[in-house]
Amino acid sequence: MKPPHKSLQITVYQDVLCAWCYLADQRLETVKQEFGDLIRWKVRPYPLRIHDMPPTERELRGLVKEVRRARKESDPTARLLSTELWQGGDPPRSSINALAALEAARLQSPAAHALLTRAMQRTALEQGVNVSRPDVIFELAAHAGLEMGSFAAAFGSAATHKLILDEHRLAASRGVRRVPTIVLAERWMVCGLREVAEYREHILACLGKLYTPRSGSSERLVH
């Protein structure tokens, strides 16, 4: 398929500690392979836990319930999801550290970011390890082959942590309330986990609208 004169940008808001994002990443990977250069993908952090404090018992029960719901999805890897992250006695206090690690990896390359994302997801959501801890973060980064000097500097930078908070505020101002959320061409929004066929349908519809614009149209698809 020959790409048009410009590609469609899709921004994916996610939190590495979210079971639904874990599944969405795998479904969107199928879409990426199908559309190729027609789409430019931009992954941005949206921390579900901003403040550095232990989750309450009520919050833990809710988080465990969400993982159990995600495990019922038809994806082959859904059954690998574990509630241990929230029941093992060392739950993450915040998402900020984990997302800062991913931003530090992004500075090295998109491939490094993707590799560390997958490693952190598997470690947290399949094995139940608290990946917001610096010792775990550095171990995973080293295993992923990142250059550790520059990674450590970026991860420890106040600017990196500020970026996460700024991204959260910006996304919230644009209507993002949960993850996974994708925004197509900065105009159409799809919230929550969707089937591959539905992602494909929205992308095709937006490609059609983007390249055959209607004069004066200000429509915005929100789901």
- For the stretch 57-76, pLDDT in tens is 999 999 999 999 999 999 99
Dump pLDDT digits (tens) for 3-31. Answer: 445 789 999 999 999 999 999 999 999 99
Residue pLDDT, tens place only, 166-195: 999 999 999 999 999 999 998 899 999 999
44: pLDDT strictly greater than 70: yes
Q: Evaluate if residue 215 carries a pLDDT over 60.
A: no
- Report residue 222's pLDDT band, with 50, 70 and 90 as the boundaries: very low
d(CA 9, CA 42): 7
Please say whether the beta carbons of 15 and 120 come within 8 A.
no
pLDDT for res 3: 47
- Burial (CB < 10 A; 0-12, 13-18, 19+), residue 195, is exposed
**Given pLDDT bands bounded at 50, 70 and 90, which one contains residue 212?**
low
pLDDT at 219: 46
Q: What is the mean pLDDT of residues 193-200?
A: 97
- Identify the CATH homologous superfamily for domain 8-211: Glutaredoxin (3.40.30.10)
Q: What is the pLDDT of residues 120-159, one digit of tens each?
A: 999 999 999 999 999 999 999 999 999 999 999 999 999 9
Q: Which of 130, 117, 147 is nearest to 49 (CA)?
A: 130
